[in-house]
Chains A and B, each alone.
Chain A
């Protein structure tokens, strides 16, 4: 494994950490199901790709836009979640994922099935960033997002989310407006996923519709659930496992998805709180 390759994988893990944490806000904190999260990832990625290639925007402005657009679409998704309960929400989010990918695939502005290529390397202070630098940059951002999560866990926003997740009626009775907090959750989640999308677009240099399809949503879900929904370390560890496992399992690369599927089933059967959840395997190891 070359150093360059290692940096690339590291970059992916950083991006996925941010993505997993973003899903965690909606699912782990606010208890809402979102099975189409790759859609926000894709929206962020395409926003950056389009701004960079078709409008010639620089890196930081397109980063900002990806975050804002992600937040906006997160907000939009928050709206149906108000009307629609658990099972229905699952199907709506899956549907949204599909529709978004279909739009990317079939509308020329988004490049159709060939996607958008030619996204340049980000330029910082006049210097173009290459793999090592980019890995560092994404790592810094992932770290910042983790700090953000730690911050959120301390403020009343978290308690509002938790109240909504545990009992909506009781939440309302203590002054938590359930719709408001659901929208907060989806908006923040969308913004962070948009951020991840931007990082992806600049890493890959191109975006394709299938990079954001339902199986990707499943991967993100796996990361969160494997590590432990609702914790910070859970999604982080989950993201790391999902990113590095295929590399470690290189020789049995072909069986990768099968192994994921089996892992998911086993984890759900025996450790539904995730490996770092309350009764999780890894958590008890670290407690000693």
Chain B
């Protein structure tokens, strides 16, 4: 579904990505891991449209998407959450999701006459909130929510755009044990909906417990790829993480 072909990225003198290639197949829960600075978020930004690759291609469902605007890529069916949570703070939880539901509307002239709070739409939004366990907060302003719930809201809003591929940047970061278990459940539900997930994570226990495939980056290159059991035993991976043993041994 998503093919990253030899993507390189430089920022002035700094080479962030040295030529990364990998593939995400439909229906997978695919993890992207690696020590800090490996280039994971940079790769996300390229896939999602916030950055242009210096060279290389990104192909989604047979369409080339590198270099396109993020909003256009969103219209093709890729949704994303951010490392530092970016909900719309002055909107309520329900409104955040309603905003996501408007994805197709924003690029058409419908934006000038389509009423937001229509009954059918509100129901759809509430269903999504239900899915993510947020229904009791629906009229609360997003800025007041604790981090764990804000992350879920970001996911709910991303789901509202009816994506085929969901990019999640460190969704488990800052979550406690219960919240992490919750998140894993949510991942399963999303997979059951037929949505493919590609996520960046540092929490190894969470990642290895839920991912189908893991791709490992270090210093801008792919150093390993495979099912969780293989990757955790891979000497290159262990070496890359040396100094952060707690991650691997968790």
Contact = CB atoms under 8 A, between A and B. Distances in A.
Are A and B direct contacts in the complex by CB distance below 8 Å? yes
Interface of A: 154-160, 162-163, 166-167, 169-178, 180-181
B115 interface: yes
Interface string B57-75: 0000000000001111011
Contacts of B115: 154-156
B227 to A, nearest CB: 30
Contacts of B154: 170
Given A155-B115, A175-B161, A176-B71, A162 B106 contact: no
Q: Specify which of A162, A174, A177 lies most central, judged by the most chain B CB atoms within 10 Å of its CB.
A: A174
A180 B105 CA distance: 13
Contact of B74 (A155, A159, A162, A175): A175
B49 interface: yes
Contacts of B50: 169, 172
A156 B98 CA distance: 9
Contact of A156 (B48, B72, B90, B116): B116
Contact of B75 (A167, A170, A175, A181): A175
Contacts of B158: 173-174
A154 B154 CA distance: 23
B69 A156 contact: no
List the 7 closest A-B pairs by CB distance, nearest first. A172-B70, A175-B103, A170-B86, A177-B71, A175-B74, A166-B88, A156-B111
A85 B95 CA distance: 26
Nearest to B103: A175
Nearest to B74: A175
Interface string B25-65: 00000000000000000000000111000000000000000
Interface of B: 48-50, 69-72, 74-75, 79-80, 82, 86-91, 95, 98-100, 102-107, 110-117, 154, 157-158, 160-161
A177 B106 contact: yes
A158 B74 CA distance: 19
A162 B116 contact: no
A166 B70 contact: no
A167 to B, nearest CB: 5
B127 to A, nearest CB: 18
B69 A169 contact: no
A172 to B, nearest CB: 4
A171 B89 CA distance: 12
Given A163-B99, A170-B88, A175-B107, 6 more contacts: A156-B102, A160-B111, A172-B70, A173-B158, A174-B100, A175-B161
Given A167-B86, A177-B107, A154 B102 contact: no
Contacts of A167: 86-89
B184 to A, nearest CB: 23
A157 B70 contact: no
Given A159-B102, A166-B90, A173-B80, A154 B117 contact: yes
A169 B104 CA distance: 17
Contacts of B161: 174-175
A155 B116 contact: yes
Given A155-B116, A170-B82, A175-B161, A160 B48 contact: no
Q: Specify which of A157, A170, A172 lies most central, judged by the most chain B CB atoms within 10 Å of its CB.
A: A170
A172 B99 contact: no
B102 A173 contact: no
A157 B112 contact: yes
A20 B13 CA distance: 48
A173 B157 CA distance: 10
B70 A173 contact: yes
Contacts of B89: 166-167
